[in-house]
Amino acid sequence: MLDLQSILIPQSGIIFRMIGDIATGDGAQSPEYRPEGILILPERGQIKVINEIGARVWLLIDGQLSVQEIASKITDEYQVDLVEAQRDILDYVNELEERGLVTPRD
């Protein structure tokens, strides 16, 4: 099980893309507009859609930042409570690890 000090690396072969990107204008006129991300898992023949914050967390999983540092960045960017961000992100990255999408850095 991962903790706040864990540093994660995405598994190789996973492709990440933003969808509904503001730069393309897709959905930008809608007041409910929220960019999302997709994880493409070619070896499994799967595509996973992740919400805006999940996509941001994925982008921060770079083998350099700890889960604590990722939570701090999310707190700053989305004005959410740090304790809540830590809990939610820890749950999320543990799920990613269980699904074999990330691994702790050695």
> Domain spans of the chain?
8-100
Alpha carbon of residue 57 to chain centroid = 3
State the DSSP code for 7.
Answer: B
Q: Which of 53, 71, 56 is nearest to 6 (CA)?
A: 71
Instruction: List pLDDT tens digits, range 51-89.
Output: 999 999 999 999 999 999 999 999 999 999 999 999 999
Matching residue, tokens 């809540």? 84
Domain 8-100 -> CATH class: mainly alpha
Q: Which of 102, 105, 21 is nearest to 63 (CA)?
A: 105
Could you give the CA distance from residue 106 to residue 6 in angstroms, rounded to a whole number? Answer: 10
Task: Please tell me the pTM assigned to this model.
Answer: 0.85
Could you give the CA distance from residue 10 to residue 34 in angstroms, rounded to a whole number? Answer: 24
Q: Does residue 26 surpass a pLDDT of 80?
A: no
Q: What is the mean pLDDT of residues 28-47?
A: 80
Pull the structure tokens for residue 69: 């540092």
Could you give the CA distance from residue 57 to residue 70 in angstroms, rounded to a whole number? Answer: 7
